[in-house]
Amino acid sequence: MSALFDVGQTVRIASREPGVHHRVPAYAKGQVGFIERICGQHGRPETLIRGDGQPFERLYRIRIPQTDLWPDYQGSDRDCLDIEVFEHWLEAVE
Amino acid sequence: MNLPTGPHDLGGQEAGEINLTEHDTAWWEWQIDAMVRLALSKGLITDFAELRDGIEQLTPKDYKNLGYYERWARSLAWVLVDKGVVTQSELSERVQAIRARQEKS
């Protein structure tokens, strides 16, 4: 299956609570960033618990400005967070 | 901002003072590490995700008070019982036997 998103594309990290292990921290949910790179395909965290991780999902490295994440951020406005998020947690931003 | 989904979901919260002193790994910590890797290689747990999931099931109080490998130990025990690899009573009996042996020596 081909990648749903391309490098450089702007995406939003979904804001939801699946009630199971899912590897998306609260502070990143709902945040917008761009795809820095694609990191291959890996087992879906939600189904690696008591399962085989199927369907495997593409993993993307998302770059988000620190000043977007933390309103009182004191560092450079060029500082970024790189966070790896699975495809089923990403939404396209027009 | 979304609410944290468990005691592990700490990003952005006040951390307080961080202890940066070096420390040795205790023998029991190596043993826990070995047990987890053995459980993985034997397929008793499918992935580190299952260990992380067990850690996320800890109460906030336990998560805060337990050390790194104590969390691993608690998680591994919980996961193996939850999956039916061992029963809680088998585990408790073994713990009691070891405790009795240690108290004798």
Residue A2 pLDDT > 90, yes or no?
Answer: no
Q: Cβ of A49 and B50 within 8 Å?
A: yes
Which pLDDT does position B14 carry in this prediction? 87
Tell me the mean pLDDT in the region B75-80. Answer: 96
C-alpha–C-alpha distance, residues A1 and A57, integer Å? 10
What are the sequence ranges of the domains in chain A? Answer: 10-76+88-92
More confident residue, A71 or B35: B35
Question: Is residue B27 predicted with pLDDT exceeding 90?
Answer: yes
What does the pLDDT read at residue A54?
Answer: 94
- Secondary-structure breakdown of chain A: helix, strand, coil percentages, each rounded to the nearest 5: 15, 35, 50
Residues from chain B that touch A17, judged by Cβ atoms under 8 A, are 2-3, 5
pLDDT the model gives residue B61 = 96
- Using CB atoms, pick whichever of A15, A20, A53 lies closest to residue B2: A15
- Please tell me the predicted confidence (pLDDT) of residue B2: 85
A64, β-bridge pairs: A81
Q: How far apart are CA A37 and CA A35, in angstroms?
A: 6
Cα-Cα-Cα-Cα dihedral of A72, A77, A82, A87, to 10°? 80
Does residue A1 register a pLDDT over 70? no
> B53 and A52 in contact by Cβ < 8 A?
no
Residue B7's pLDDT band (boundaries 50, 70, 90)?
Answer: very high
The predicted pLDDT at position A11 comes to 98
For residue range A16-39, what is the model confidence (pLDDT) as tens digits? 999 999 999 999 999 999 999 999
* Preceding peptide of A55 cis, ω within 30°: yes
Predicted complex ipTM: 0.85
| Mean of pLDDT values over B6-35 | 93
Average pLDDT, chain A: 95
Cβ distance B46 to A21 less than 8 Å, yes or no, reads no
Does any CB of chain B come closer than 8 Å to the CB of residue A65? no
Tell me which chain A residues have a C-beta less than 8 angstroms from the C-beta of B15.
none
Per-residue pLDDT, averaged over B7-17, amounts to 90
- Tokens for B86? 């061992």
Q: Does A49 touch chain B (CB under 8 A)?
A: yes
State how far residue A29 is from chain B, nearest Cα, in angstroms. Answer: 7
**CATH level 2 (architecture), domain A10-76+88-92:** Roll (2.30)
Phi and psi (nearest 5°) for A59?
A: -110, 130
With 80 as the cut, is the pLDDT of residue B1 above it? no
Dmax over CA atoms of chain B, in Å, equals 54
Q: What is the pLDDT of residue A41?
A: 97
